[in-house]
Structure 1
Amino acid sequence: MEEDMVMKKILILFTLILIIAGCGKKITEADKLNQKGIDNYFRENYRLALDMFNQAISLDPSDAKKYNNRGLVLFCLGDYEKSLEDYDKALELKPDFPEVYNNRAMTFVSLEKYPEAIKDYTKIIESTPNDQELYYNRGEAFYKSKQYENAIADFKTAIKIYPNFTHAYNNLGMTYLEQGDLLNASDAFNRVITIDPRNIQGYINLARLNYDAGDYEGCVYNCDNALNEDKRTYEAYMNKGIALEKLKKNSEAIKAFENYLEYAPETDEYRSLAMDKIAALKR
């Protein structure tokens, strides 16, 4: 069970769409500060961006865009509750502001408040029904709240709008995998590789599928496909090592775990597991 959980946690990929609003046509001192904040946001100078937005809001506390922008910076700094306060204020000033609903939904997801996130995404979708990214993001919220059928429906809608949406295919496959539907999961993951033969996440997800089906050779094969695209893909080494261990290819498994330790960040949660496996396999 421990090994199964490693595979699941490593292989799920979701991407959130961030939106930041720009300033209006009339250039004031507050707008100049707002633009400086935006510039620093894109440079990832979040503390400086926050200072710029604070000054902009102090000069013009009635502009919803500035609260949205500060809320996004606060989100990037990990202050989710204050981020929500700014989004709420922006919507109080401008109730019809889809970017804010998107950003607030993103924050709700980070706080694991999935019903609230779904409600916000649904509101935007009602006015913007042809944006694949909104269905994709709501699909994530459905997935994380274990509403798998709704997640599947949203990922499929995202794909219908944009047929080459590989992230949506990957997540559709992961949702099928959670339901134990290996056939549809395989179709989704293989579609990713058809669209983009160099898609590392597609190969990693196929490896997960192989592993769940007991096809450990296939798991190793697809991990190698991912590594052929980028030898630094440390999660592929971890998954390869687990599959090789199942195949009782201990020396190869040890090498895979050692490669994982070489490339994985020091903060990665599976480093201690990899070290334990190496020690056990060497006994």
Structure 2
Amino acid sequence: MFKSNNSAILFTALFLMSGNIFQGCGREDLRYTHFSGERSDLTVLLSEEVLFLYPSGEYDADSLAMLLETYDKAYSLAVQLSGREPLPAPQDTDKLPLAIVSKTCGPGCGRLGRKGIEITKHTFDRIYNEFVVNGRHDHLFFYELGRNFWFYGEDPGDTQWEGVHTGFAVFFRDLLVKELKLNIAPINGIPYAKYMEDKQSRFESFLAKMGTDSLNWEKVERIKKQQFPHSPLFWSSLWWELYQKQGREGVIAAFSLLKVQPLPENGEAWFRFLVK
């Protein structure tokens, strides 16, 4: 379960003794190096899977512990489904660093294929209040966790790659939400159930327009742009269709296959992998 304050103090001391990039500035604080290279002193709270770093005095520790309990479950399930863990964080820890910072690459930012998530304080305040007041989880952590669990390549020269791996993170979020039976707050003001219905409706329209010509990539590209102005929703829908048809076992089988065969090299190859 969750560690006591004494464990956090011991953990801080071990970091200091090991010469880690975290440098203690107090009994319960660590100096965290942001993705950007900036440093700040943050308070530590440990759970089974997460190293939570946050501005001191801002949140109730018991409420944070309850929130982290769900994050622990999500991480453990992600490992179970994927059959592997992300690469370790640059920090000397085997846990997933989750840092609340003043700014990052968006409202939240997750490393691709490596442990590490940052969420802006403004965004986390909303996440925290939603959880404490309404008992609902925000989707953002689960999405960024999906980025941590992307192990399947990158090609900066191919503009489709961002849509492919972002779509995977969207799918992985929805998969974790479904499997853990979480109560999710609205996304961009849209109730989560309605958001999922709208996405499914778009995908059904895509399939109807494709007809029997389901593997014609030029036609796929054309209709995809019509039905999915935001490309990641298309790729997340392909993964979701696999999950709908084959269940959790089908997703695990797909992940297992990706570990032993050459990875798809472009959008068309990913499409064919997901629809076969």
TM-score of Structure 1 vs Structure 2, range by shorter chain: under 0.3
Q: Taking CA–CA contacts closer than 8 Å with sequence separation of 6 or more, which of the two structures ends up with the larger relative contact order?
A: 2
**TM-score using structure 1 length:** 0.27
Structure with the higher fraction of residues in helix conformation: 1
Structure with the higher fraction of residues in strand conformation: 2
